[in-house]
Amino acid sequence: MRIRETAWTPAERTDPDPDLPERAQALAELMRGRRATVLTGAGISTPSGIPDYRGPDSPARTPMTFQQFVGDPAFRRHYWARNHLGWRHMESARPNAAHLLLADWEHRGLVAGIITQNVDLLHLKAGSRTIVDLHGSYAVVVCLGCGTRQSRWALHEDLELLNPGFAERVTTRGAIEVAPDADAVLDDTAGFRMVDCRRCSGVLKPDIVYFGENVPAHRVHAANALVDESDLVVVVGSSLTVRSGYRFVRRAATTDTPVAVVNRGHTRAHADALLAVDGDCVEVLTRVERAL
């Protein structure tokens, strides 16, 4: 069963790696003459202002599970109220230098494609062309009843009509902390009105794989194909605590495809990695680019 698991262990803060320049040089040498599949996580997007769940500086957060969302209207109302504020922050986020470098490396033939666990679309905004959005996207909403899909912008207009002035009332009480997965930290959601599917009155859900939910098989197959067609897998900005991403490292390892890791702190993939670089994604990839 392919699920996004509910349990994890936050990464521990580590001291700056004194060998970072040498390790970045080694990664550049490993990439030369190879086509890499790059597996990215939240750590690549934190410099763009999008928080993560497990980084060394991340506060403890408990994400909503799929079972909570589908099983309790109160949980759904709470989520949509938070999402009504948080998704616009994600919409306005822009790619950082790490996203842009990966897109450029794809254009130059160094990268075959991106498998991302993020839902922020920053790889697409940066210009990457071959992308597997493993956990979906914040920008699409799907009906759990009939499967109808619509843009998040269209739903935003409907929610605005049903909840006039909600965002303004909430933001006047103080700064809103943005949370991962296109929502915001918000306690007062009483009275927020949800929208049902216009076609069948079914439950609407962001096209995001929640914890405890199956990753769609076609995305897994596309990601497997990328790994199989590449001769290097590079993990960038992910602790890989959940198996939905880690499985691709294991797939590479079982076929003797080398694995490299770029991340702040220890990851689940360290035992499989030929090379691990402990550092900020932007800094490390910028050093690799200089060495290429």
**Active-site residue numbers?**
135
Q: What is the pLDDT of residue 179?
A: 62
Q: Which residues does residue 206 pair with via DSSP β-bridges, in sequence order?
A: 141
Nearest to 189 by CA among 89, 82, 87, 83: 82
Pinpoint the residues of the chain covered by CATH 3.40.50.1220. Answer: 1-7+18-45+95-135+214-292
Q: Which fold has domain 64-92+137-208?
A: SIR2/SIRT2 'Small Domain' (3.30.1600)
Q: What is the pLDDT of residue 185?
A: 66
Q: Does domain 1-7+18-45+95-135+214-292 have CATH number 3.30.450.20?
A: no
Q: Which residue ranges does the chain devote to CATH 3.30.1600?
A: 64-92+137-208
How much is the pLDDT for 276? 97
Check whether 197 is labelled as a binding-site residue: yes
**pLDDT tens, residue order, the chain (292 aa):** 234 444 434 445 456 688 999 999 999 999 999 999 999 999 999 999 998 765 555 555 567 899 999 999 999 998 998 898 889 888 999 999 999 999 999 999 999 999 999 999 999 999 999 999 999 999 999 999 999 999 999 999 999 999 998 877 776 654 456 666 666 666 667 789 999 999 999 999 999 999 889 999 999 999 999 999 999 999 999 999 888 899 999 999 999 999 999 999 999 999 999 999 999 999 999 999 999 9
Tell me which residue of 247, 215, 251 sits closest to 230, measured CA to CA. Answer: 251
Q: What is the pLDDT of residue 4?
A: 46
Identify the CA nearest to 38 among candidates 127, 103, 92.
103
Contact assessment for residue 91 and residue 85, using Cβ atoms and an 8 Å cutoff: no
User: What pLDDT is recorded for position 7?
Assistant: 41
Per-residue b/e over 114-132, b at no fewer than 16 CB within 10 Å? bbbbbbbbbbbebebeebb
Q: Bin 227: left if φ > 0, else alpha if -120 < ψ < 50, else beta.
A: alpha
146 belongs to an annotated ligand binding site: yes
The pLDDT, as a whole number, for residue 13 is 46
Q: What's the distance, CA 284 to chain centroid? A: 19
pLDDT of the residue at 17:
80
pLDDT at 178: 66
Dihedral (C-alpha) 272, 276, 281, 282: value to the nearest 10 degrees?
Answer: -140
User: Which of 216, 222, 169 has its CA nearest to residue 192?
Assistant: 169
Residue pointed to by tokens 């009939």: 146
- For residue 255 the two structure tokens come to 């076929």
